[in-house]
Amino acid sequence: MIKIIERIVRKKCILWPQAGKAVMIKEAVEFAVEAHRGAVRKGTQVPYIVHPLEAAVIVGTMTEDEELICAAVLHDVLEDTDASEEELRRRFGDRVTDLVVQETDDKTRSWQERKRNKLERAKEAETELKLLILGDKLSNIRSMARDYLLLGEDFWQRFNEKDKDAHAWYYWGMADSLKDMEKYEPYKEYVELCRRVFGEPPAASEENK
């Protein structure tokens, strides 16, 4: 898996002028593979690690910043595994860890509260965090679009929040929060996939009535 993702990342034209940068990304991949071992994507048998690796590849199409790519690889380890913030700081440094912390949801809150908070944070975020969020969300909507095509409306039953309209509110809200990323191809793909899954954004739908 590690060798596969390294080949994919290189094909996406990420340049590592220093060997240490390639090593850092490899170490992040190894850490994430172990942290997510045994976990699968919700409602599937797809290994969970596929998601953060895909998010890292997406981020790598937009930046050569190896710490940001590492943060993409690691973005779910605090939220979904036993990994600790202290361990991340020791192994990957403050900048990578701070990005992961900012991308981590507080699961003690309700779904609606978490998503509203995420939209607000994304809107106010610096560019580097927005790139990280975009990589994460594009990976998610790609997976949703594939499975929705196969399962239709039954697809929403795999989530704790089963209301399709609630997901539409969140994903279109994220498109608005990340609108200043529209020069990047991943943002354009994100918007197109939102249209396939949810139809036109609510504002556009209202205007067309």
pLDDT in tens, the chain (209 residues): 445 555 555 444 344 444 456 788 989 999 999 999 999 998 888 999 999 999 999 999 999 899 999 999 999 999 999 999 999 999 999 999 999 999 999 989 999 999 999 999 999 999 999 999 999 999 999 999 999 999 999 999 999 999 999 999 999 999 999 999 999 999 999 999 999 999 998 765 444 33
Q: Which of 65, 80, 189, 200 is the catalytic position? A: 80
Give yes or no: 80 in active site: yes
Tell me yes or no: is domain 2-200 CATH 1.10.1060.10: no
Give the separation between CA 137 and CA 151, rounded to whole angstroms. Answer: 20
Give the separation between CA 126 and CA 156, rounded to whole angstroms. Answer: 32
- Size of the chain in residues: 209
The single-letter code of the amino acid at 77 is V
> Among 77, 64, 76, which Cα is nearest to 18's?
64
Domain residue spans of the chain: 2-200
Q: Which of 6, 27, 65, 79 is the catalytic position? A: 79
Give the separation between CA 167 and CA 165, rounded to whole angstroms. Answer: 5
- What's the predicted TM-score (pTM) here? 0.88
Give yes or no: 79 in active site: yes
DSSP state string for 84-142: -HHHHHHHHHHHHHHHHHHT---TTS-HHHHHHHHHHHHHH--HHHHHHHHHHHHHHHH
